[in-house]
Homo-oligomer: A and B are copies of this chain.
Amino acid sequence: MNNPLLPWLKDTRITGDTLAGDASAAVIVTLMLIPQSLAYALLAGLPAHIGLYASVLPLLGYALFGRSPALAVGPVAITSIMTYDALLPYATPGSPEWVSGAIFLALASGALLMLFGFLRFGFLAALLSHPVMSGFISGAAVLIIIGQLGTLSGIAASGSNAFEQLRHIAQHLHEINLLTLVIGLSTLALLLLARTKAQPFFLRLGLRGFWLNLVTKAAPLAAIAVITLVLVVTGLSAHTATVGSIPAGLPVVALPEMGSAFSALFISALLIAVVGFIESVSMARTVGRAREVPTDPDAELRGLGAANLLSGMSGAFPVTGGLARTVVNMDAGARTPLAGVFSALLMVIVLLGAAQFLSALPLASLAALIIVAIWSLIDLKTLRASLKFDRSDAAGWLVTFFGVLVLGVEQGVMLGIALSIGTVLWRQSRPHIAVIGRLPGTEHFRNVNRHEVDTLENVVFLRVDGNLFFANWDRVREFIDQQVASLGASAQVVLNLASVSDIDSTALEGIEALFKDLARRQMGLHLCEVKGPIADKLKRVELNQRVPTYLSTHQAYEALMDQGYRLRAAQS
Protein backbone atom coordinates (compact mmCIF):
# COMPACT_ATOMS: atom_id res chain seq x y z
CA MET A 1 0.00 0.00 0.00
CA ASN A 2 1.15 3.54 -0.65
CA ASN A 3 1.54 5.90 2.25
CA PRO A 4 -2.01 6.24 3.61
CA LEU A 5 -1.37 9.71 5.03
CA LEU A 6 -2.54 12.79 3.09
CA PRO A 7 -3.45 10.74 -0.02
CA TRP A 8 -5.01 13.80 -1.70
CA LEU A 9 -1.56 15.33 -2.19
CA LYS A 10 -1.19 12.80 -5.05
CA ASP A 11 -4.03 14.48 -6.96
CA THR A 12 -3.47 18.17 -6.34
CA ARG A 13 -0.67 20.62 -5.76
CA ILE A 14 -1.44 23.19 -3.10
CA THR A 15 -1.30 26.64 -4.67
CA GLY A 16 -2.63 30.11 -3.85
CA ASP A 17 -5.63 29.24 -6.00
CA THR A 18 -6.50 26.03 -4.20
CA LEU A 19 -5.99 27.69 -0.81
CA ALA A 20 -8.35 30.52 -1.78
CA GLY A 21 -10.95 28.04 -3.06
CA ASP A 22 -10.70 25.95 0.10
CA ALA A 23 -10.91 28.97 2.41
CA SER A 24 -13.94 30.53 0.76
CA ALA A 25 -15.74 27.16 0.59
CA ALA A 26 -14.94 26.67 4.28
CA VAL A 27 -16.60 29.96 5.24
CA ILE A 28 -19.77 29.05 3.35
CA VAL A 29 -19.93 25.44 4.54
CA THR A 30 -19.34 26.51 8.15
CA LEU A 31 -22.36 28.80 7.97
CA MET A 32 -24.45 25.73 7.11
CA LEU A 33 -22.60 23.49 9.54
CA ILE A 34 -23.24 25.60 12.65
CA PRO A 35 -27.03 25.21 12.78
CA GLN A 36 -27.00 21.72 11.19
CA SER A 37 -24.48 20.32 13.67
CA LEU A 38 -26.62 21.55 16.59
CA ALA A 39 -29.79 20.16 14.99
CA TYR A 40 -28.31 16.75 14.17
CA ALA A 41 -26.94 16.37 17.70
CA LEU A 42 -30.52 16.90 18.96
CA LEU A 43 -31.69 14.36 16.37
CA ALA A 44 -29.22 11.87 17.89
CA GLY A 45 -30.76 12.54 21.32
CA LEU A 46 -27.69 14.46 22.50
CA PRO A 47 -27.18 17.95 23.96
CA ALA A 48 -26.96 20.30 20.96
CA HIS A 49 -23.43 21.56 21.67
CA ILE A 50 -22.04 18.04 21.10
CA GLY A 51 -22.81 18.65 17.42
CA LEU A 52 -20.21 21.43 17.51
CA TYR A 53 -17.66 19.05 19.06
CA ALA A 54 -18.31 16.63 16.17
CA SER A 55 -17.38 19.39 13.72
CA VAL A 56 -13.79 20.14 14.69
CA LEU A 57 -11.35 17.23 15.09
CA PRO A 58 -13.25 14.85 12.74
CA LEU A 59 -12.67 17.30 9.87
CA LEU A 60 -8.94 17.25 10.63
CA GLY A 61 -9.01 13.44 10.78
CA TYR A 62 -10.60 13.21 7.35
CA ALA A 63 -8.01 15.60 5.91
CA LEU A 64 -5.24 13.30 7.22
CA PHE A 65 -6.50 10.03 5.66
CA GLY A 66 -9.32 10.84 3.20
CA ARG A 67 -8.80 11.66 -0.45
CA SER A 68 -11.91 13.39 -1.82
CA PRO A 69 -11.25 17.02 -2.77
CA ALA A 70 -14.61 18.29 -1.51
CA LEU A 71 -16.32 15.76 0.78
CA ALA A 72 -17.77 17.73 3.72
CA VAL A 73 -17.50 15.56 6.83
CA GLY A 74 -19.46 16.10 10.05
CA PRO A 75 -22.77 15.19 11.69
CA VAL A 76 -25.40 14.12 9.14
CA ALA A 77 -29.08 13.30 9.53
CA ILE A 78 -28.98 9.59 8.64
CA THR A 79 -26.20 8.52 11.00
CA SER A 80 -27.70 10.74 13.72
CA ILE A 81 -31.07 9.00 13.57
CA MET A 82 -29.25 5.66 13.46
CA THR A 83 -27.36 6.66 16.62
CA TYR A 84 -30.66 7.55 18.30
CA ASP A 85 -32.24 4.27 17.23
CA ALA A 86 -29.23 2.23 18.42
CA LEU A 87 -29.12 3.77 21.90
CA LEU A 88 -32.86 3.86 22.64
CA PRO A 89 -33.08 0.31 24.10
CA TYR A 90 -30.19 0.99 26.49
CA ALA A 91 -30.45 4.51 27.88
CA THR A 92 -32.51 7.71 28.22
CA PRO A 93 -31.89 10.41 25.58
CA GLY A 94 -29.57 13.10 26.87
CA SER A 95 -28.44 11.11 29.95
CA PRO A 96 -24.72 10.57 30.69
CA GLU A 97 -25.14 6.88 29.69
CA TRP A 98 -26.62 8.02 26.38
CA VAL A 99 -23.63 10.29 25.74
CA SER A 100 -21.25 7.44 26.61
CA GLY A 101 -23.11 5.17 24.21
CA ALA A 102 -22.87 7.74 21.41
CA ILE A 103 -19.13 8.10 22.04
CA PHE A 104 -18.77 4.32 21.93
CA LEU A 105 -20.63 4.18 18.59
CA ALA A 106 -18.28 6.81 17.15
CA LEU A 107 -15.16 5.02 18.42
CA ALA A 108 -16.34 1.55 17.35
CA SER A 109 -17.49 2.61 13.90
CA GLY A 110 -14.29 4.62 13.51
CA ALA A 111 -12.17 1.62 14.43
CA LEU A 112 -14.15 -0.63 12.05
CA LEU A 113 -13.88 1.86 9.17
CA MET A 114 -10.15 2.28 9.74
CA LEU A 115 -9.67 -1.50 9.87
CA PHE A 116 -11.74 -1.99 6.69
CA GLY A 117 -9.71 0.74 5.02
CA PHE A 118 -6.40 -0.93 5.75
CA LEU A 119 -7.86 -4.31 4.71
CA ARG A 120 -8.96 -2.62 1.42
CA PHE A 121 -12.60 -3.54 1.96
CA GLY A 122 -13.87 -0.77 -0.33
CA PHE A 123 -15.97 -3.37 -2.12
CA LEU A 124 -18.30 -3.29 0.91
CA ALA A 125 -20.03 -0.42 -0.87
CA ALA A 126 -21.81 -3.20 -2.77
CA LEU A 127 -23.61 -4.18 0.47
CA LEU A 128 -26.40 -1.78 -0.49
CA SER A 129 -27.54 -1.29 -4.07
CA HIS A 130 -28.39 2.24 -5.20
CA PRO A 131 -32.20 1.80 -5.21
CA VAL A 132 -32.12 0.11 -1.79
CA MET A 133 -29.91 2.90 -0.37
CA SER A 134 -32.26 5.47 -1.89
CA GLY A 135 -35.28 3.72 -0.37
CA PHE A 136 -33.51 3.54 2.98
CA ILE A 137 -32.53 7.23 3.02
CA SER A 138 -36.01 8.25 1.86
CA GLY A 139 -37.63 6.17 4.58
CA ALA A 140 -35.27 7.55 7.21
CA ALA A 141 -36.00 11.09 5.98
CA VAL A 142 -39.75 10.58 6.35
CA LEU A 143 -39.16 9.09 9.81
CA ILE A 144 -37.03 12.09 10.81
CA ILE A 145 -39.61 14.57 9.55
CA ILE A 146 -42.40 12.82 11.46
CA GLY A 147 -40.16 12.84 14.54
CA GLN A 148 -39.64 16.60 14.18
CA LEU A 149 -43.37 17.31 14.01
CA GLY A 150 -43.46 16.79 17.77
CA THR A 151 -40.62 19.23 18.45
CA LEU A 152 -42.17 21.70 16.03
CA SER A 153 -45.51 21.66 17.84
CA GLY A 154 -44.39 21.03 21.41
CA ILE A 155 -46.07 17.59 21.60
CA ALA A 156 -43.92 14.98 23.35
CA ALA A 157 -43.01 12.19 20.90
CA SER A 158 -44.14 8.58 21.40
CA GLY A 159 -44.55 5.44 19.33
CA SER A 160 -42.27 2.72 18.07
CA ASN A 161 -42.75 3.33 14.36
CA ALA A 162 -43.73 6.09 11.95
CA PHE A 163 -47.42 5.26 11.94
CA GLU A 164 -47.71 5.06 15.72
CA GLN A 165 -45.88 8.40 16.03
CA LEU A 166 -48.30 10.04 13.63
CA ARG A 167 -51.29 8.57 15.50
CA HIS A 168 -49.85 9.76 18.81
CA ILE A 169 -49.53 13.32 17.49
CA ALA A 170 -53.05 13.19 16.03
CA GLN A 171 -54.45 12.05 19.40
CA HIS A 172 -52.59 14.72 21.37
CA LEU A 173 -53.29 17.76 19.21
CA HIS A 174 -54.79 19.48 22.29
CA GLU A 175 -51.33 19.51 23.84
CA ILE A 176 -49.95 21.78 21.13
CA ASN A 177 -47.79 24.60 22.49
CA LEU A 178 -48.99 27.54 20.41
CA LEU A 179 -45.86 29.66 20.86
CA THR A 180 -43.64 26.73 19.87
CA LEU A 181 -45.80 26.01 16.83
CA VAL A 182 -45.67 29.66 15.75
CA ILE A 183 -41.87 29.70 16.13
CA GLY A 184 -41.55 26.47 14.20
CA LEU A 185 -43.86 27.49 11.37
CA SER A 186 -42.36 30.95 11.00
CA THR A 187 -38.85 29.45 10.85
CA LEU A 188 -40.13 27.00 8.25
CA ALA A 189 -41.60 29.91 6.24
CA LEU A 190 -38.41 31.98 6.52
CA LEU A 191 -36.23 28.99 5.50
CA LEU A 192 -38.37 28.23 2.46
CA LEU A 193 -38.30 31.93 1.56
CA ALA A 194 -34.51 31.97 1.96
CA ARG A 195 -34.18 28.87 -0.21
CA THR A 196 -36.27 30.17 -3.08
CA LYS A 197 -35.98 33.96 -2.92
CA ALA A 198 -32.58 34.76 -1.36
CA GLN A 199 -30.52 34.17 -4.46
CA PRO A 200 -32.67 36.21 -6.92
CA PHE A 201 -32.97 38.97 -4.30
CA PHE A 202 -29.24 39.35 -3.73
CA LEU A 203 -28.60 38.98 -7.46
CA ARG A 204 -30.83 42.00 -8.01
CA LEU A 205 -28.83 43.81 -5.32
CA GLY A 206 -25.79 43.27 -7.52
CA LEU A 207 -24.05 40.53 -5.54
CA ARG A 208 -22.10 37.96 -7.55
CA GLY A 209 -19.74 35.01 -7.07
CA PHE A 210 -18.38 34.35 -3.58
CA TRP A 211 -20.44 37.02 -1.84
CA LEU A 212 -23.67 35.93 -3.45
CA ASN A 213 -22.94 32.35 -2.44
CA LEU A 214 -21.98 33.47 1.08
CA VAL A 215 -25.13 35.42 1.84
CA THR A 216 -27.33 32.78 0.20
CA LYS A 217 -25.86 29.99 2.30
CA ALA A 218 -25.90 32.19 5.42
CA ALA A 219 -29.62 32.82 4.94
CA PRO A 220 -30.85 29.83 7.00
CA LEU A 221 -28.57 30.78 9.91
CA ALA A 222 -29.71 34.40 9.56
CA ALA A 223 -33.36 33.37 9.55
CA ILE A 224 -32.92 31.44 12.78
CA ALA A 225 -30.88 34.29 14.27
CA VAL A 226 -33.66 36.78 13.51
CA ILE A 227 -36.27 34.60 15.19
CA THR A 228 -34.00 34.00 18.19
CA LEU A 229 -33.37 37.72 18.56
CA VAL A 230 -37.06 38.52 18.45
CA LEU A 231 -37.72 35.92 21.14
CA VAL A 232 -34.89 37.14 23.38
CA VAL A 233 -35.88 40.79 23.02
CA THR A 234 -39.58 40.12 23.69
CA GLY A 235 -38.74 37.79 26.56
CA LEU A 236 -40.78 35.01 24.92
CA SER A 237 -37.63 32.92 24.85
CA ALA A 238 -38.35 31.68 28.36
CA HIS A 239 -41.66 30.10 27.28
CA THR A 240 -40.34 27.71 24.70
CA ALA A 241 -37.66 24.99 24.70
CA THR A 242 -34.23 26.25 23.66
CA VAL A 243 -30.79 24.71 23.16
CA GLY A 244 -29.89 25.77 26.70
CA SER A 245 -26.54 26.24 28.35
CA ILE A 246 -23.53 25.33 26.23
CA PRO A 247 -20.26 24.75 28.09
CA ALA A 248 -17.94 27.50 26.92
CA GLY A 249 -14.67 26.57 25.26
CA LEU A 250 -13.28 23.49 23.63
CA PRO A 251 -14.51 19.95 24.35
CA VAL A 252 -12.92 18.08 27.20
CA VAL A 253 -11.55 14.89 25.71
CA ALA A 254 -13.01 12.01 27.70
CA LEU A 255 -13.47 8.37 26.81
CA PRO A 256 -16.38 6.35 28.22
CA GLU A 257 -15.76 3.36 30.44
CA MET A 258 -16.29 0.29 28.30
CA GLY A 259 -19.14 -1.52 30.05
CA SER A 260 -20.45 -4.89 28.97
CA ALA A 261 -23.64 -3.26 27.62
CA PHE A 262 -21.51 -1.81 24.85
CA SER A 263 -21.00 -5.19 23.22
CA ALA A 264 -24.69 -5.09 22.26
CA LEU A 265 -23.99 -1.82 20.40
CA PHE A 266 -21.35 -3.38 18.22
CA ILE A 267 -23.73 -4.43 15.42
CA SER A 268 -25.19 -0.91 15.48
CA ALA A 269 -21.71 0.56 15.12
CA LEU A 270 -21.10 -1.73 12.16
CA LEU A 271 -24.35 -0.66 10.49
CA ILE A 272 -23.61 3.03 11.09
CA ALA A 273 -20.12 2.54 9.64
CA VAL A 274 -21.44 0.77 6.54
CA VAL A 275 -24.28 3.22 5.85
CA GLY A 276 -22.05 6.24 6.51
CA PHE A 277 -19.37 4.83 4.21
CA ILE A 278 -21.78 4.03 1.36
CA GLU A 279 -23.38 7.49 1.56
CA SER A 280 -19.96 9.15 1.62
CA VAL A 281 -18.31 7.15 -1.09
CA SER A 282 -21.14 7.82 -3.51
CA MET A 283 -20.76 11.57 -2.80
CA ALA A 284 -16.99 11.22 -3.14
CA ARG A 285 -17.51 9.62 -6.56
CA THR A 286 -19.72 12.51 -7.69
CA VAL A 287 -17.05 14.95 -6.52
CA GLY A 288 -14.26 12.91 -8.12
CA ARG A 289 -15.98 12.89 -11.50
CA ALA A 290 -16.61 16.61 -11.39
CA ARG A 291 -13.01 17.35 -10.37
CA GLU A 292 -11.61 14.63 -12.66
CA VAL A 293 -9.60 12.95 -9.91
CA PRO A 294 -9.83 9.25 -9.06
CA THR A 295 -11.99 8.06 -6.17
CA ASP A 296 -10.35 5.63 -3.78
CA PRO A 297 -12.93 3.82 -1.61
CA ASP A 298 -10.19 2.45 0.66
CA ALA A 299 -8.87 5.96 1.37
CA GLU A 300 -12.45 7.10 2.06
CA LEU A 301 -12.79 4.25 4.58
CA ARG A 302 -9.61 5.37 6.35
CA GLY A 303 -10.62 9.05 6.22
CA LEU A 304 -14.04 8.35 7.72
CA GLY A 305 -12.43 6.00 10.23
CA ALA A 306 -10.08 8.73 11.45
CA ALA A 307 -12.97 11.22 11.54
CA ASN A 308 -15.09 8.93 13.73
CA LEU A 309 -12.24 7.96 16.05
CA LEU A 310 -11.54 11.66 16.63
CA SER A 311 -15.26 12.38 17.03
CA GLY A 312 -15.40 9.77 19.79
CA MET A 313 -12.29 11.23 21.40
CA SER A 314 -13.97 14.67 21.30
CA GLY A 315 -16.88 13.24 23.28
CA ALA A 316 -19.13 13.29 20.24
CA PHE A 317 -21.09 10.92 17.99
CA PRO A 318 -20.73 9.25 14.58
CA VAL A 319 -20.04 11.50 11.60
CA THR A 320 -19.78 10.96 7.87
CA GLY A 321 -19.79 12.84 4.58
CA GLY A 322 -22.94 14.94 4.19
CA LEU A 323 -24.89 15.16 0.95
CA ALA A 324 -25.98 18.80 0.92
CA ARG A 325 -22.83 20.31 2.50
CA THR A 326 -20.63 18.37 0.06
CA VAL A 327 -22.51 19.79 -2.93
CA VAL A 328 -22.18 23.30 -1.48
CA ASN A 329 -18.51 22.72 -0.68
CA MET A 330 -17.85 21.61 -4.25
CA ASP A 331 -19.81 24.45 -5.83
CA ALA A 332 -18.09 26.95 -3.54
CA GLY A 333 -14.72 25.90 -4.92
CA ALA A 334 -13.22 23.46 -2.40
CA ARG A 335 -10.19 21.80 -4.01
CA THR A 336 -8.66 19.77 -1.17
CA PRO A 337 -9.60 18.49 2.31
CA LEU A 338 -7.88 21.65 3.59
CA ALA A 339 -11.36 23.20 3.17
CA GLY A 340 -12.36 20.92 6.04
CA VAL A 341 -9.37 22.03 8.09
CA PHE A 342 -10.34 25.70 7.63
CA SER A 343 -13.93 24.82 8.50
CA ALA A 344 -12.69 23.17 11.70
CA LEU A 345 -10.74 26.32 12.63
CA LEU A 346 -13.83 28.46 12.11
CA MET A 347 -15.82 26.07 14.30
CA VAL A 348 -13.24 26.54 17.07
CA ILE A 349 -13.88 30.28 16.92
CA VAL A 350 -17.62 29.62 17.15
CA LEU A 351 -17.08 27.32 20.12
CA LEU A 352 -14.92 29.90 21.89
CA GLY A 353 -17.05 32.91 21.06
CA ALA A 354 -20.64 32.28 20.14
CA ALA A 355 -21.73 29.62 22.62
CA GLN A 356 -23.72 32.15 24.61
CA PHE A 357 -25.73 33.18 21.59
CA LEU A 358 -26.36 29.63 20.38
CA SER A 359 -27.86 28.64 23.73
CA ALA A 360 -30.90 30.83 23.04
CA LEU A 361 -31.78 29.08 19.76
CA PRO A 362 -35.32 27.67 20.03
CA LEU A 363 -35.57 23.91 19.43
CA ALA A 364 -38.63 24.42 17.21
CA SER A 365 -36.49 26.48 14.82
CA LEU A 366 -33.87 23.72 14.68
CA ALA A 367 -36.68 21.21 13.98
CA ALA A 368 -37.80 23.39 11.10
CA LEU A 369 -34.20 23.50 9.85
CA ILE A 370 -33.99 19.69 9.96
CA ILE A 371 -37.25 19.34 8.05
CA VAL A 372 -36.10 21.69 5.30
CA ALA A 373 -32.65 20.10 5.10
CA ILE A 374 -34.05 16.56 5.05
CA TRP A 375 -36.93 17.10 2.63
CA SER A 376 -34.71 16.79 -0.45
CA LEU A 377 -33.44 13.39 0.73
CA ILE A 378 -36.82 11.87 -0.12
CA ASP A 379 -35.72 10.52 -3.48
CA LEU A 380 -38.80 9.70 -5.53
CA LYS A 381 -36.79 10.24 -8.72
CA THR A 382 -34.91 6.96 -8.20
CA LEU A 383 -38.18 5.19 -7.44
CA ARG A 384 -39.76 6.52 -10.65
CA ALA A 385 -36.69 5.57 -12.71
CA SER A 386 -36.69 2.07 -11.22
CA LEU A 387 -40.39 1.61 -11.87
CA LYS A 388 -39.81 2.51 -15.48
CA PHE A 389 -36.70 0.46 -15.94
CA ASP A 390 -36.24 -2.43 -13.55
CA ARG A 391 -39.12 -3.76 -11.48
CA SER A 392 -36.89 -5.65 -9.04
CA ASP A 393 -34.99 -2.43 -8.27
CA ALA A 394 -38.31 -0.68 -7.65
CA ALA A 395 -39.36 -3.50 -5.33
CA GLY A 396 -36.05 -3.08 -3.44
CA TRP A 397 -36.73 0.65 -2.99
CA LEU A 398 -40.30 0.15 -1.76
CA VAL A 399 -39.55 -2.75 0.58
CA THR A 400 -36.68 -0.86 2.21
CA PHE A 401 -38.65 2.40 2.42
CA PHE A 402 -41.63 0.81 4.17
CA GLY A 403 -39.27 -1.45 6.13
CA VAL A 404 -37.74 1.65 7.73
CA LEU A 405 -41.14 3.20 8.46
CA VAL A 406 -42.60 0.04 10.02
CA LEU A 407 -39.58 -1.66 11.58
CA GLY A 408 -37.33 1.32 12.30
CA VAL A 409 -34.00 2.50 10.95
CA GLU A 410 -31.79 -0.35 12.12
CA GLN A 411 -34.06 -3.22 11.04
CA GLY A 412 -34.71 -1.29 7.84
CA VAL A 413 -31.05 -1.11 6.93
CA MET A 414 -30.54 -4.79 7.76
CA LEU A 415 -33.49 -5.62 5.52
CA GLY A 416 -31.89 -3.51 2.79
CA ILE A 417 -28.55 -5.28 3.15
CA ALA A 418 -30.27 -8.68 2.99
CA LEU A 419 -32.16 -7.57 -0.13
CA SER A 420 -28.99 -6.29 -1.81
CA ILE A 421 -26.93 -9.37 -0.97
CA GLY A 422 -29.83 -11.57 -2.06
CA THR A 423 -29.91 -9.72 -5.38
CA VAL A 424 -26.17 -10.19 -5.92
CA LEU A 425 -26.35 -13.90 -5.04
CA TRP A 426 -29.40 -14.36 -7.23
CA ARG A 427 -27.79 -12.62 -10.19
CA GLN A 428 -24.56 -14.55 -9.73
CA SER A 429 -26.36 -17.86 -9.53
CA ARG A 430 -27.78 -17.25 -13.01
CA PRO A 431 -24.84 -16.87 -15.38
CA HIS A 432 -25.75 -16.45 -19.02
CA ILE A 433 -24.92 -19.61 -20.96
CA ALA A 434 -25.24 -19.70 -24.74
CA VAL A 435 -25.31 -22.71 -27.03
CA ILE A 436 -23.20 -21.56 -29.96
CA GLY A 437 -22.62 -22.65 -33.55
CA ARG A 438 -20.47 -21.59 -36.47
CA LEU A 439 -21.62 -18.79 -38.76
CA PRO A 440 -21.49 -20.63 -42.11
CA GLY A 441 -18.26 -20.03 -43.99
CA THR A 442 -16.57 -18.13 -41.12
CA GLU A 443 -14.57 -18.91 -37.97
CA HIS A 444 -17.11 -17.05 -35.82
CA PHE A 445 -19.35 -18.76 -33.31
CA ARG A 446 -22.65 -17.22 -32.25
CA ASN A 447 -25.72 -18.02 -30.13
CA VAL A 448 -27.87 -20.61 -31.93
CA ASN A 449 -30.99 -18.77 -30.76
CA ARG A 450 -30.10 -15.58 -32.57
CA HIS A 451 -28.15 -16.63 -35.64
CA GLU A 452 -28.36 -19.20 -38.41
CA VAL A 453 -25.35 -21.31 -37.56
CA ASP A 454 -23.79 -24.68 -38.30
CA THR A 455 -23.51 -27.22 -35.51
CA LEU A 456 -22.17 -30.77 -35.37
CA GLU A 457 -24.27 -33.82 -34.67
CA ASN A 458 -23.92 -35.11 -31.12
CA VAL A 459 -21.71 -32.15 -30.14
CA VAL A 460 -22.75 -29.17 -28.03
CA PHE A 461 -20.70 -25.96 -28.06
CA LEU A 462 -21.33 -23.79 -24.99
CA ARG A 463 -20.14 -20.34 -24.00
CA VAL A 464 -20.44 -19.16 -20.38
CA ASP A 465 -20.58 -15.36 -20.05
CA GLY A 466 -18.92 -14.60 -16.73
CA ASN A 467 -16.52 -16.08 -14.21
CA LEU A 468 -17.01 -19.57 -12.83
CA PHE A 469 -17.20 -19.94 -9.06
CA PHE A 470 -19.09 -21.60 -6.27
CA ALA A 471 -22.20 -19.46 -6.63
CA ASN A 472 -22.85 -20.32 -10.26
CA TRP A 473 -21.06 -23.57 -11.05
CA ASP A 474 -24.01 -25.79 -10.04
CA ARG A 475 -26.28 -24.05 -12.51
CA VAL A 476 -23.68 -24.32 -15.28
CA ARG A 477 -23.36 -28.01 -14.54
CA GLU A 478 -27.13 -28.47 -14.63
CA PHE A 479 -27.33 -26.69 -17.97
CA ILE A 480 -24.64 -28.98 -19.36
CA ASP A 481 -26.41 -32.07 -17.98
CA GLN A 482 -29.64 -31.00 -19.69
CA GLN A 483 -27.84 -30.49 -23.00
CA VAL A 484 -26.06 -33.84 -22.72
CA ALA A 485 -29.33 -35.62 -21.88
CA SER A 486 -30.68 -34.64 -25.30
CA LEU A 487 -27.61 -36.03 -27.11
CA GLY A 488 -26.82 -39.65 -27.87
CA ALA A 489 -23.94 -41.92 -26.86
CA SER A 490 -20.38 -40.59 -27.38
CA ALA A 491 -21.66 -36.99 -27.14
CA GLN A 492 -19.01 -34.26 -26.93
CA VAL A 493 -19.19 -31.07 -24.87
CA VAL A 494 -17.07 -28.09 -25.98
CA LEU A 495 -16.80 -25.35 -23.38
CA ASN A 496 -15.79 -21.92 -24.65
CA LEU A 497 -14.13 -20.05 -21.76
CA ALA A 498 -13.55 -16.76 -23.59
CA SER A 499 -15.51 -14.75 -21.01
CA VAL A 500 -14.10 -16.60 -18.01
CA SER A 501 -11.32 -14.60 -16.42
CA ASP A 502 -11.47 -16.15 -12.95
CA ILE A 503 -12.33 -19.56 -11.59
CA ASP A 504 -12.37 -20.77 -7.99
CA SER A 505 -11.62 -24.19 -6.55
CA THR A 506 -15.31 -25.22 -6.44
CA ALA A 507 -15.69 -24.62 -10.18
CA LEU A 508 -12.34 -26.24 -10.92
CA GLU A 509 -13.31 -29.36 -9.00
CA GLY A 510 -16.62 -29.13 -10.84
CA ILE A 511 -14.91 -29.20 -14.24
CA GLU A 512 -12.82 -32.15 -13.09
CA ALA A 513 -15.96 -34.01 -11.90
CA LEU A 514 -17.75 -33.14 -15.15
CA PHE A 515 -14.85 -34.56 -17.14
CA LYS A 516 -14.89 -37.78 -15.11
CA ASP A 517 -18.69 -38.16 -15.25
CA LEU A 518 -18.68 -37.67 -19.02
CA ALA A 519 -15.75 -40.08 -19.47
CA ARG A 520 -17.60 -42.71 -17.44
CA ARG A 521 -20.42 -42.46 -19.98
CA GLN A 522 -17.99 -42.61 -22.94
CA MET A 523 -18.55 -38.90 -23.60
CA GLY A 524 -15.95 -36.20 -24.03
CA LEU A 525 -15.19 -32.73 -22.66
CA HIS A 526 -13.19 -30.13 -24.62
CA LEU A 527 -12.13 -26.62 -23.63
CA CYS A 528 -11.35 -23.71 -25.91
CA GLU A 529 -10.36 -20.02 -25.77
CA VAL A 530 -8.93 -20.54 -22.30
CA LYS A 531 -7.32 -17.33 -20.98
CA GLY A 532 -3.80 -17.36 -19.61
CA PRO A 533 -4.55 -17.24 -15.86
CA ILE A 534 -7.22 -19.93 -16.21
CA ALA A 535 -4.84 -22.16 -18.18
CA ASP A 536 -2.31 -21.78 -15.35
CA LYS A 537 -4.89 -22.91 -12.80
CA LEU A 538 -5.93 -25.89 -14.95
CA LYS A 539 -2.27 -26.82 -15.19
CA ARG A 540 -1.85 -26.76 -11.44
CA VAL A 541 -4.43 -29.54 -11.06
CA GLU A 542 -3.17 -31.33 -14.18
CA LEU A 543 -6.50 -30.98 -15.96
CA ASN A 544 -4.76 -29.61 -19.02
CA GLN A 545 -3.15 -32.99 -19.72
CA ARG A 546 -6.44 -34.86 -19.62
CA VAL A 547 -8.95 -32.48 -21.20
CA PRO A 548 -8.35 -31.62 -24.88
CA THR A 549 -7.85 -27.85 -25.04
CA TYR A 550 -7.97 -25.72 -28.19
CA LEU A 551 -6.94 -22.14 -28.85
CA SER A 552 -10.18 -21.30 -30.68
CA THR A 553 -13.67 -22.77 -30.93
CA HIS A 554 -12.98 -23.13 -34.62
CA GLN A 555 -10.03 -25.43 -33.95
CA ALA A 556 -12.17 -27.58 -31.66
CA TYR A 557 -14.82 -27.69 -34.37
CA GLU A 558 -12.31 -28.81 -37.00
CA ALA A 559 -10.76 -31.40 -34.71
CA LEU A 560 -14.18 -32.93 -33.98
CA MET A 561 -15.01 -32.99 -37.70
CA ASP A 562 -11.73 -34.86 -38.24
CA GLN A 563 -12.88 -37.36 -35.61
CA GLY A 564 -15.97 -38.05 -37.73
CA TYR A 565 -18.62 -35.78 -36.14
CA ARG A 566 -20.80 -34.65 -39.04
CA LEU A 567 -22.33 -31.32 -39.86
CA ARG A 568 -25.91 -30.86 -38.82
CA ALA A 569 -28.06 -28.69 -41.08
CA ALA A 570 -27.93 -24.96 -40.29
CA GLN A 571 -30.32 -24.06 -37.48
CA SER A 572 -32.25 -20.87 -37.13
Contact = CB atoms under 8 A, between A and B. Distances in A.
Contacts of A292: 481, 485
A540 interface: yes
Given A470-B130, A499-B465, A505 B385 contact: yes
Contacts of A432: 467, 501-502
Interface in A222-257: none
Nearest to A508: B389
A125 B261 CA distance: 35
Contacts of A295: 474, 478
A154 interface: no
Contacts of A474: 125, 285, 295, 297
A126 B471 contact: yes
Given A424-B424, A424-B425, A541 B388 contact: yes
Interface string A260-285: 00000000000000000000000001
Given A432-B501, A481-B294, A502-B427, A470 B126 contact: yes
Contacts of A131: 505-506
A124 interface: yes
A129 interface: yes
Contact of A540 (B122, B129, B388, B424): B388
Contacts of A127: 425
A396 to B, nearest CB: 10
Nearest to A465: B499
Contacts of A186: none
A295 B477 CA distance: 10
B501 A532 contact: no
A127 B501 CA distance: 22
B506 A129 contact: yes
A426 interface: yes
Contacts of A513: 289
Interface string A450-484: 10000000000000011101111010011001100
Contacts of A470: 126, 129-130, 420
A220 to B, nearest CB: 30
Interface in A492-518: 499-502, 504-506, 508-509, 513, 517
A184 to B, nearest CB: 37
A271 to B, nearest CB: 14
A22 interface: no
Given A125-B474, A505-B386, A508-B389, A289 B517 contact: yes
Interface string A101-140: 0000000000000000000011111110111000000000
Nearest to A131: B505
Interface in A374-398: 382, 385-386, 388-390, 392-393
Contacts of A426: 123
With most chain B CB atoms within 10 A of its CB, the pick from A424, A467, A502, A541 is: A424
Contacts of A425: 123-124, 126-127, 421, 424
Interface string A405-435: 0000000000000001110111111101000
Interface of A: 121-127, 129-131, 285, 289, 292, 294-295, 297, 382, 385-386, 388-390, 392-393, 420-422, 424-430, 432, 450, 465-467, 469-472, 474, 477-478, 481-482, 485, 499-502, 504-506, 508-509, 513, 517, 532, 537, 540-541
Leading 8 A-B pairs by shortest Cβ distance: A126-B471, A432-B501, A123-B429, A130-B506, A129-B470, A393-B505, A390-B505, A499-B499
